[in-house]
Amino acid sequence: MNPAPNLILVGPTGAGKTSIGKRVAERFGLAFVDADQAIVERTGASIATLFEHMGEAGFREREKAVLHDLLAGHGQLVSTGGGAVLDAENRMWMKQRGYVVYLQVSVEAQLKRLGRCTNRPLLQRADREQVLHDMAVTREPLYREVADLTLDTVGLSPPEATARLTQLLAHRWQPIEENA
């Protein structure tokens, strides 16, 4: 059993962090927090707008600040953005402040799940498949570095992945209470 104040989901876009995360949070009585949505709420701008006006580096700075604030809390499931692991401090905070689950997915499955999605700035290119492969090469080792548990979501519906993850977590993770 690995106790931690938060449950954190990492993985590439299209892995199911939000859809699975909401269900798992409900099963464990945790507050669900989508880090990207928290960035939007804090800045008042969409992720696409932030990328357009600040570039990826500016977005990553805001992501880092929001993630740091979120992970200071407890009793929550935090769904991170796919690139949150790129920053070494983010990875350190994740390991210190949560039990980290890596939701794994193949590039082929990502392409199917994302369809014609237009709200992911890094994928607004004709060579989406190559972009996803390139991101996987860079990010996969970082997801593995922070992960306490890995779940391959390929071939699983969100309810199936939720059931499997809930079962695994029941034996491996215990939320710890902290004084607010």
Domain boundaries, the chain: 2-167
Q: Which CATH superfamily is domain 2-167 in?
A: P-loop containing nucleotide triphosphate hydrolases (3.40.50.300)
- 139 annotated as ligand-binding: yes
Going by C-alpha positions, the residue among 110, 105, 103, 85 that lies closest to residue 95 is 85
- 29 annotated as ligand-binding: no
Could you give the CA distance from residue 30 to residue 32 in angstroms, rounded to a whole number?
6
Q: How far is CA 52 from CA 18, 133, 176, in A?
A: 24, 23, 39
Could you give the CA distance from residue 107 to residue 112 in angstroms, rounded to a whole number?
9
Q: Residue 91's pLDDT is what? A: 97
Q: Residue 47's pLDDT is what? A: 86
Q: Residue 180's pLDDT is what? A: 45
Query: Which residue do the tokens 């970082």 mark?
Result: 142
Helix/strand/coil for 61: helix
Q: Residue 179's pLDDT is what? A: 59
- 16 annotated as ligand-binding: yes
- 116 annotated as ligand-binding: no
- 157 annotated as ligand-binding: no
Q: Residue 149's pLDDT is what? A: 96
Q: pLDDT, tens digit, for every residue of 68-103?
A: 999 999 999 999 999 999 999 999 999 999 999 999
Contact 10, 146 (CB under 8 A): yes
Q: Residue 74's pLDDT is what? A: 94
Residues of the chain with pLDDT under 70: 1-2, 113-126, 178-180
- 36 annotated as ligand-binding: yes
